[in-house]
Structure 1
Amino acid sequence: MGSTQEQFTVADAIVKELVKAGVETAYGIVSIHNMPIYDAILREGSIDLVCARGESGAVNMADGHARSTGKLGVAITSTGTGAGNAAGSLVEAWSAGVPLLHITGEVSSEQIGTGRGYIHECKNQLQMMEGACKKAFQLKVPEQATGFIRKAIKEAFQAPSGPISVEIPIDYQSAIIPDTLIYDEAAFGQSAQGEFNVPEAVVKTIKEAKRPVLWVGNGAILSGASEQIKRLAEMTGAPVITSQSAKGIIPEDHPQCIGHFGAYPETKQFMANADLLISVGVRFRSNETSGWSVEVPENHITIDADYLAVSRNYDAKYGLVGDIKIVVESLASQIEGSDYMKPSGEYSEEVQQLRETLRATLRETLGPYENILDSMRNRLNEDTIFVRDVTIPANVWGSRLFEIYKPRHSIHASGGGIGQALPTGIGAQKANPDKRIVVLAGDGGFMVNIGELATAVQENLPMIILVFDDSGYGVLRNIQDAAYGRQIGVDLVSPDFVQLAHSMGIESSRVGSTDAFDKALEKATESDEMTMIVIDMEAVGPMAKPFGGPPGVASSFKPKKIK
């Protein structure tokens, strides 16, 4: 649809820059304080607009779109309450370093900060958004709209990448401005290329190591460094520990892939005997290091795109800062061009033994859920994108034993908030129509954004949704039991999820055994329609060992004196 408006406005400038940035889909809710932008999208005609049922869900959808593709995610919300509703999901995008543009309206420019009660007015909205995002900006000069949005998009991708919130006063959105043409490197599709000159001292440290370890995080995913990480690992014989966000950076059936087991006692013991750690784009979050109790060797080389990542949680002897893909590629080439000798075969055997021990030990705790895990891996193909909420199945085995073979095929809440899997999965499915999205959620988290089921139906998305129903907040139940021996606030009443799904035209069934689950999943994978499978966890039975929360969490709640 071509434009029927002769005059160029701020809203047109915003849409033009989105198109220039390759945006094909945006997510949001229309409002009196963003309607000119919506109308500009309609008139331009090339951007598909997905109507979410809540601002929180819209940002999650944009997040899932960006994480699964590496492209810019875009969410458009209203001002005031609408912007506030988006804040929690923006915190998640910030925690995961997601390149996302949040466009929100603002009250009329002359009313900002007056407190006069202008509809949707919010005290210090920009400050609220700043607290939830990497950065937040307010358009102050309408004529600068083109450069303003382009700068925001560029800022979203610059290290450390993250969500940028921009607010556009409602009177500015329809302001007539010149259609300014700005030429820069982004406009010509150029990107940083070349090589990174790795200091000889760093290469020497790697050459002398007999027990090197690679610990890889989401920064490597963001930079597209999968092949480079695999090359460096195979060259050095180093085991690859990954953060939860970096699952799939190398295929998880690779003999050197330890995976998301960094906080486990066996891995901690292995790390205590390492003589070199090369950390790549990893934050070393508290829950992934057992409260930073993992010991790392003095010879620690950090590779990251962010200067402030160096020695953030663990002291580094050397920091290599730049495009991670280029840095790792250059490092591997310099090592390959030297007289480097790979560690002994005995070390490779130790790595393989660690990998097998970790998986076997964890499997022993699953009880009947081991069969559900195996059914999922057998029934779902390698291109499946696995989106998980914060729930016991995800924490125990979904983020560790369910193998991922490709980058950007695993998405989980980095910030630990519940309820985000469904809308995040919607964004991932919308962005990847040729792949199947599988969402794993618990009944408690699923209720947080359950209204977005309607969005998935409206968009005709072929997702498979797995709801593990234990009638409450299962993770918190177990943590409370471990900490106090009692529970409060964790038992929940939920609707009949199957009937709810049927009311929306979604194929759904409730299963109470592992055989029934396998048959239901087989049927779902053979269909190209959306399917929801509700797993009755009481009927399936308990795990062989209850999940007590991330390592070290329960002990933090016990009474103690603070010095």
Structure 2
Amino acid sequence: MTQSKQMEVPVSNIENAVEYTVADAVVKELVRAGVTTAFGIVSIHNMPIYDAILRDGTIHLVCARGESGAVNMADGYARATGKLGVVITSTGTGAGNAAGSLIEAWAAGVPLLHLTGEVASPYLGTGRGYIHECKDQLSMMEGCSKKAIRLRIPDQASAVVRQAIKDAEEAPTGPVTLEIPIDFQSAIISDYSLEEMKISPAINSNTNFPEDALLKVIHAKRPVIWAGGGVISADASSELTELADIIGAAVITSQSGKGSIPEDHPQCVGHFASYAETKELLANADILISVGVRFRGNETSNWKVKVPGEHISIDADWQAMNRNYEATYGIVGDAKHILGQLVNELSTKQLQRDEAYVKEVKAVREQLRAQLRATLGPYEQIMDHMRAALPKETVLVRDVTVQANVWGSRLFEIYQPRTSIHASGGGIGQGLPTAIGAQMASKDRKVVLMAGDGGFMVNVGEMSTAAQEELPMIIVLFDDGGYGVLRNIQQNAYGRQVAVDLLSPDFVQMSKSMGFEAVRIGSPAEFEVEIKKAVKSVKPMMIVVDMEAVGPMAKPFGGPPGAADSFKPKKL
């Protein structure tokens, strides 16, 4: 039975079966916030909310196979659209299953509302063994979310849900958990009009970029821009690209910032911050403009990358200032507005780009790419076939796997915002459900998942969700019989390996049993044929890359820079 058939219920026959409840208030606020899709698993501790969604009839429910996957789906949906992701889970174990994926959403700064049940209010904190009881669910959710809230007074449901949504969407954006005791969900309350009067002044569009900082930009001869996910969240990609063009800046992107500038732009250095050539470029720069970037440890060799003394930091989050690198100018606000003002100011000046420096940036860009390409061996052809076959607007989702780390996140060019999604928190196995969420949000675009066999098995059951929703997604599964990234890190660190070899199923047969078309390939030439077929297909498709048959990379991937050194015995 398809999801659409499940939703075919004569709403008019049940509209008067219940009075207005907390669950109705929850759904009313979701609809008000523009929510049209929600993900989750129905349970005895969220049934009133599910029934209210059914009676309302405007929100499409996607039935995941696990709470972890459901959160990832809401996460992928939010990243692909910029809208609020919504996930509904059960209490206790169900909420606990969601925790790891909430950490991923928190790490990536994804606006997400997690609705979970709680035990009946009289039994909260009693330890009496009420079904699904957790010792302290609110604290558990607080630890893996931006914020965790419990509804304590049923009549406050509308206000609390609205505040939770606001908390999720305000900088720094992130997942917010709202837990509602099961007896409260069906509590009858009064329906009322909840209005918000905006009394804060609107942004003055004539506000100038700070004069001192502006002069530093004007006089810079070797500027570098470091663009993060905040550029994409603020829809500021066009302003960022225009700024780079005006001042002739090199543009480094974080992993989350991929797509903030088209990666075929000659000044786009890209996601290569920890590489020696980029470090040298930064060392010789006279100013850094960072925009919405967290400067994560794994992207800066644990903050060993040096930045120029002159640093203009632009971020929507007050707490981002001086968290990892000191700024000479910290500007807090909306990146689109701030960059727009800077571009407007610069357009009135007679600015001379240093074309010799721009030429140097182009050379660094090409050198980095040639250097990395030389390590790929036969996977260079697979990458090129993949990029050539896929439309520019394709959404590329990457799980943690060797090929995603080496070239999926660096050499595979991304041209548009919100078409690159990766595991910010580093957890394996979240790629499949994240890609499902992205495809639910992007019915007019192809979504392609890069995954490895080890991580893929974590949430493999969600293939059935993709088939049930009839999603035309493509999975490119790199099968090396285990945890390839960890194999290489262990080999580099210890010269031996442990617990990294895995017995996998026949992925082709398994995929077909779950409603996917599937094929196994053993060469780049076979891959080219199959990826072209997959792009034309309207059915979900898996291409299994037999890495033993394809052959090894020219240079084995040893993990992120400095990874092996972290595990070698040493005195602290």
Same fold judged by TM-score > 0.5? Answer: yes
Higher mean alpha-carbon deviation, 4-13 vs 51-60, is at 4-13
Describe how 1:478-557 pairs up with structure 2 within 5 A. 478-557=488-567
Tell whether the 8 Å contact from 1:142 to 1:172 is kept in structure 2 after alignment: yes
Tell whether the 8 Å contact from 1:384 to 1:436 is kept in structure 2 after alignment: yes
Match of 1:438 in 2: 448
The letter of the residue matching 1:363 is R
1:315 pairs, out of 326, 334, 337, with 326
Q: Secondary structure at the match of 1:291?
A: coil
Mapped to 1, the partners of 2:275 and 2:339 lie a distance apart of: 27
Match of 2:57 in 1: 45
Q: Secondary structure at the match of 1:261?
A: coil
Tell whether the 8 Å contact from 1:214 to 1:277 is kept in structure 2 after alignment: yes
Residue 2 (structure 2) pairs with residue 4 (structure 1): no
Q: Decide whether aligned partners of structure 1 residues 193 and 390 sit closer, same or farther in structure 2, where only a CA change above 3 A counts.
A: farther
Describe how 1:63-462 pairs up with structure 2 within 5 A. 63-184=75-196, 194-339=205-350, 341-462=351-472
Match of 1:54 in 2: 66
Q: Decide whether aligned partners of structure 1 residues 508 and 191 sit closer, same or farther in structure 2, where only a CA change above 3 A counts.
A: farther
Mapped to 1, the partners of 2:402 and 2:103 lie a distance apart of: 22
Shift of 1:197: 3.1
Mapped to 2, the partners of 1:443 and 1:251 lie a distance apart of: 30
Shift of 1:338: 3.0
Match of 2:6 in 1: none
The letter of the residue matching 1:384 is T
The letter of the residue matching 1:174 is S
Q: Decide whether aligned partners of structure 1 residues 504 and 191 sit closer, same or farther in structure 2, where only a CA change above 3 A counts.
A: farther
Tell whether the 8 Å contact from 1:371 to 1:514 is kept in structure 2 after alignment: yes
Match of 1:466 in 2: 476
Tell whether the 8 Å contact from 1:4 to 1:43 is kept in structure 2 after alignment: no
Mapped to 1, the partners of 2:18 and 2:554 lie a distance apart of: 68
Tell whether the 8 Å contact from 1:195 to 1:327 is kept in structure 2 after alignment: no
Shift of 1:196: 4.3
Shift of 1:185: 5.5
Mapped to 2, the partners of 1:43 and 1:396 lie a distance apart of: 48
- Cα-to-partner distance string for 1:490-540 (whole Å, 9 max, x where unaligned): 000110000001112311010111111111111111211111000000110
Q: Secondary structure at the match of 1:450?
A: helix
Tell whether the 8 Å contact from 2:464 to 2:515 is kept in structure 1 after alignment: no
Mapped to 1, the partners of 2:456 and 2:530 lie a distance apart of: 20
The letter of the residue matching 1:213 is V
The letter of the residue matching 1:156 is A
- Cα-to-partner distance string for 1:263-312 (whole Å, 9 max, x where unaligned): 11110111110110000000000111112111111100000001111111
Mapped to 2, the partners of 1:409 and 1:242 lie a distance apart of: 14
The letter of the residue matching 1:107 is V
Mapped to 2, the partners of 1:491 and 1:342 lie a distance apart of: 57
Q: Which runs of 4+ in 1 moved over 4 A?
A: 190-193
Mapped to 1, the partners of 2:495 and 2:267 lie a distance apart of: 40
Mapped to 2, the partners of 1:342 and 1:527 lie a distance apart of: 50
The letter of the residue matching 2:480 is D
Unpaired segments of 5 or more residues in structure 1? none
Mapped to 1, the partners of 2:125 and 2:68 lie a distance apart of: 25
Mapped to 1, the partners of 2:324 and 2:421 lie a distance apart of: 24
Tell whether the 8 Å contact from 1:78 to 1:104 is kept in structure 2 after alignment: yes
Mapped to 2, the partners of 1:191 and 1:177 lie a distance apart of: 35
Tell whether the 8 Å contact from 1:193 to 1:326 is kept in structure 2 after alignment: no
Unpaired segments of 5 or more residues in structure 2? 1-10
Mapped to 1, the partners of 2:128 and 2:363 lie a distance apart of: 68
- Cα-to-partner distance string for 1:97-146 (whole Å, 9 max, x where unaligned): 00000000000011000000000000110000000000000000100000
Tell whether the 8 Å contact from 1:195 to 1:326 is kept in structure 2 after alignment: no
Q: Secondary structure at the match of 2:245?
A: helix
The letter of the residue matching 1:528 is V
Q: Secondary structure at the match of 2:216?
A: helix
Tell whether the 8 Å contact from 1:512 to 1:535 is kept in structure 2 after alignment: yes
Q: Secondary structure at the match of 2:342?
A: helix
Tell whether the 8 Å contact from 1:29 to 1:53 is kept in structure 2 after alignment: yes
Q: Secondary structure at the match of 2:214?
A: helix
Q: Decide whether aligned partners of structure 1 residues 249 and 185 sit closer, same or farther in structure 2, where only a CA change above 3 A counts.
A: farther
Tell whether the 8 Å contact from 1:209 to 1:276 is kept in structure 2 after alignment: yes
Mapped to 2, the partners of 1:27 and 1:347 lie a distance apart of: 49
Shift of 1:182: 1.2
Q: Decide whether aligned partners of structure 1 residues 37 and 193 sit closer, same or farther in structure 2, where only a CA change above 3 A counts.
A: farther
Q: Secondary structure at the match of 1:333?
A: helix
Shift of 1:331: 1.4
1:25 pairs, out of 32, 37, 41, with 37
Tell whether the 8 Å contact from 2:246 to 2:353 is kept in structure 1 after alignment: no
The letter of the residue matching 1:267 is T
The letter of the residue matching 1:74 is V
Shift of 1:193: 7.0
Higher mean alpha-carbon deviation, 416-425 vs 502-511, is at 502-511
TM-score by length of 1: 0.98
Task: Give the CA RMSD over aligned residues.
Answer: 1.3
Q: Secondary structure at the match of 1:262?
A: coil
Mapped to 2, the partners of 1:5 and 1:214 lie a distance apart of: 59
The letter of the residue matching 1:75 is V
Shift of 1:4: 3.4
- Cα-to-partner distance string for 1:151-201 (whole Å, 9 max, x where unaligned): 000111101000000000000000111112111268x9x986735432210
